[in-house]
Amino acid sequence: MSLLEIKDLSVTFGGLHALKDLNFHVEEGEIVGVIGPNGAGKTTFFNMISGMVTPTSGEILFEGESMIGLDPNQVTQRGISRTFQNVRLFANMTILENVMVAQHCRTNKGVWGSLFNTAAFRQEEKEIREHGEKVLGFFGTRLIGYRLEQPASVLSYANRRRLEIARAMATKPRLLLLDEPVAGMNPMESAELTDLIGKLRSEWGFTIVMIEHDMDVVRDVSDRVVVLDHGETLAQGSFDEVSSNPEVIEAYLGRPLEKRK
């Protein structure tokens, strides 16, 4: 059984078919790259998996269970977490708070615990904090130390992207959806993040679906690449197969992917 299986998924916005009869699957432990020209429907695809957009028809199965009709928080609770293409951090919360609040659905102490400051409450707070520091520590020293108590708004662009990933990691997902994780980073930064994405699988055990425009990154980490265009799957397969597919080259304005450099 695939970890995530999507069957004949469609969505329309008004008259626009953002996705048409999409079929897609992810196996446990895979890293799948999703590419496609602007407006192809990649982000919409993520929105649908994470429950932020309801599909018009089709089925989404996660670990064999249907996810249609679940609220985004229930989807996260089941173990799918995402980042946003246009970084959407809680800008006025501190960096630590950003990753602490993401563990909300993995913890349960409520009014009673916080009012009476019970031992269980303190223990849970401690664990939330420790796990938060652990995911932040994944990015070296950039997000920890004195940064912990700073508001997220002071971070540089690249660090905000890293914090987005850290926040998604903090929800303890099984499947991580990364929407253009290296956008806006310089080549050195993206090379470093490419390594880290590999580690997300090898060290943290996440299965990953990643939307990315940077072909170097896609080539370096993806086991499999899916090409979307106009809401439809254009091609699937290894990076080499896909990048030599004439239809894909056509979709990318008629230029071969490799030669653009």
Which residues make up the interface to other proteins (CB under 8 A)?
Answer: 35, 37-38, 50-52, 71-73, 76-77, 81-82, 84, 88, 90-93, 97, 100-107, 109-111, 113-115, 117, 121, 124-125, 128, 142, 147, 150-151, 153-159, 167, 171, 186-190, 192, 213-216, 252-253, 255, 257, 260-261
Where residue 63 falls (left for φ over 0; alpha for ψ -120 to 50; beta otherwise) is left
CB 256 to other proteins: min, Å: 11
d(CA 44, CA 188): 29
**Residue placing its CB nearer to ligand ATP in the complex, 85 or 94:** 85
Three-state SS letters, 52-99 = CCCCCEEEEEECCEECCCCCHHHHHHHCEEECCCCCCCCCCCEHHHHH
**Residue placing its CB nearer to Mg ion in the complex, 128 or 182:** 182
Q: Is-contact 4 61, C-beta < 8 A?
A: yes
**Residue placing its CB nearer to ligand ATP in the complex, 113 or 231:** 231
Q: Which does 41 bind (CB under 5 to 8 A by kind): other proteins, ligand ATP, Mg ion, none?
A: ligand ATP
Where residue 70 falls (left for φ over 0; alpha for ψ -120 to 50; beta otherwise) is beta
Binding mask 43-62 for Mg ion (x = CB under 5 A): x-------------------
CB 214 to ligand ATP: min, Å: 12
**Residue placing its CB nearer to Mg ion in the complex, 37 or 151:** 37
**Residue placing its CB nearer to ligand ATP in the complex, 42 or 131:** 42
What are the beta bridge partners of residue 33? 210, 225
Query: Distance of alpha carbon 235 from its chain centroid, rounded?
Result: 21
Instruction: Compute the Cα dihedral for 223, 26, 57, 173 and give only its sign.
Output: negative
Determine, following the binding rule CB under 6 A, whether residue 80 of this chain makes contact with ligand ATP: no
